[in-house]
Copies of this chain bind each other. A is one copy, B any other.
């Protein structure tokens, strides 16, 4: 069995998604390798967490790229911005399914300055996009972009919990996220 570094990392993510407090021994077991091999690939738990954090932030960056935020902002038309929001919801869902546990594990980022910077850059990108969407009249202007970012984060946490408990089907997730984000629960 050739257990590559990345395979181990993916197994670690799966395990930590189910049990955020899993020990290195438990992670190794989930990955189907011995504790020794796990440590040969990741010198310490901190190193493993840093790697997972990096994977997570890279995935987030990828989400923002895939959603075409920059292009939508450059375009500036309401249609382009609206479409970007839809894509953002779409890609965020796969991100949540994959890296869910990172959402509430702030410790991962607080340890590593470099990682914290990437996170902040992603947040800034998002907020600038939200601000552009406000300017174009796609998002309401009476909510601070920074709050819209936190709200979006919160909705993802709630969605993850709903999926984890089986209260929401994956196929409904995108619609619920988009509708809740854009229109809320109030009857129009």
Contacts and interface: CB of A to CB of B under 8 A. Distances in A.
A181 B155 CA distance: 10
Interface in A73-112: 104, 107
A5 interface: no
Contact of A158 (B144, B150, B162, B185): B150
A23 B139 CA distance: 44
Given A157-B158, A176-B143, A167 B183 contact: no
Interface residues of A, number: 41
A168 interface: yes
A29 B146 CA distance: 35
Contact of A147 (B147, B151, B168): B168
A187 interface: yes
A138 interface: yes
A114 interface: no
B154 A159 contact: yes
A21 B187 contact: no
